[in-house]
Amino acid sequence: MFLITGIIIAALFLVSTSMPFLSWVLPYYKIKKLENADLKTKIIANIVALAAIGWVDIKFLITYIGVFCSIEILYYLLKRYGKKIPCFDRIFITSLLIGAGICVYMYFNRVGLNIGFEQLKNLYLQKTTFTQYEVDMAFKYIKDNFIYLIFVYINMTVFLTYYFLNKESFFKWDVSYLWLVPYVIVFFIEKYTSFGGSLTGNILSILKIVYIMYFMRIVAGILNEKVKKQSLCFTIGVFLALISPEFAFIFGALASGIKIKIVKS
């Protein structure tokens, strides 16, 4: 059992890193499979997974431990010690901590990352039909919004992990209105001081996400009262948030301080 579980974990790691939209599968499987296992089982399964992942590429261990193991550990810690913390806040806190860790790591390895960035850029120019202008624009956007893009990936992973682990309680998930405080502060810093720039823009975009997620829950909850199909309602909520993120943020932020009750007719 230990060997099979460890190998499955390693295989799911490769899937999660090669297909970003499936990044939640690994933490979901590990928590679901090992949540009620004893400490010995958890340790041996992780050792087998570490050995298998390290055998493929030793550098992968940084991602496995720094991202996926961190999601698992923080899930357990917040479930045990943060019971009074709203679910969306737990997701956001987890994403902030891991995202900040990744940014710190990348800052101290920025020379090598910049070299790799330029090599990737040249590869796109050589292997695709995109023009120099198109490639420059795309990579400039990535560079200017790098922090935000990292957070989007981590937040998506954490959110979907929580969702598939706790689908039955999804419509009861709540969020704190207090995330609006740093948003307002950073907004005024960007607008009325000389400190505005890509960093403050990234921070504002990141802080919006917690209320965009809450908007998806509200929409899914309202629709579910009528159609009773949670997966369909959830998909519609995600779709609406994607096509109008600004409206989703405003609505979610306003709703975070208002108790919305659905009255059945």
Count the Cβ atoms, other than its own, within 10 Å of residue 198. Answer: 13
Q: Is 35 within the bounds of a domain?
A: no
Q: Which residues contact 12 (CB under 8 A, 6 or more apart)?
A: 25, 26, 29
Phi/psi of residue 264, nearest 5 degrees: -75, 135
Is 85 inside a domain boundary? no
Residue type, 162: Y
More confident residue, 4 or 153: 153
Which structural domain, as residue segments, surrounds residue 251?
166-265
pLDDT band at 2; cut points 50, 70, 90: low
Domain total for the chain? 1
Q: Between the ranges 69-78, 104-113, 122-131, 191-200, where is the mean pLDDT highest?
A: 69-78
Given a contact cutoff of 8 angstroms between Cβ atoms, the answer to whether 88 and 174 are in contact is yes
Q: Give a yes or no: residue 145 inside a domain.
A: no
Expressed in percent and rounded to 5, the helix, strand and coil fractions of the chain are: 85, 0, 15
In a domain, residue 11? The reply is: no
Q: Confirm whether 121 is domain-assigned.
A: no
136-147 pLDDT per residue, tens: 888 888 888 889
- Write the DSSP assignment of 35-97 as a string of letters: TTS-HHHHHHHHHHHHHHHHHH-TTHHHHIIIIIIHHHHHHHHHHHH-TTS-HHHHHHHHHHH
* Of the candidate ranges 32-41, 58-67, 202-211, 215-224, the one whose mean pLDDT is the lowest: 32-41
Asked if 214 and 88 count as a contact pair (C-beta separation under 8 A), the reply is yes
> Can you read off the two tokens belonging to residue 162?
């929580």
What are the residues whose beta carbons fall under 8 Å from the beta carbon of 23, sequence distance 6 or more?
Answer: 16, 17, 153, 156, 157, 160
pLDDT single digits (tens) 37-64: 777 888 888 888 899 999 988 888 999 9
> Is residue 45 situated within a structural domain?
no
Structural domain contains residue 214? yes
The predicted structure's pLDDT at residue 78 = 95
- Per-residue pLDDT band at 71 (split at 50, 70, 90): very high
Residue 8 covered by a domain: no
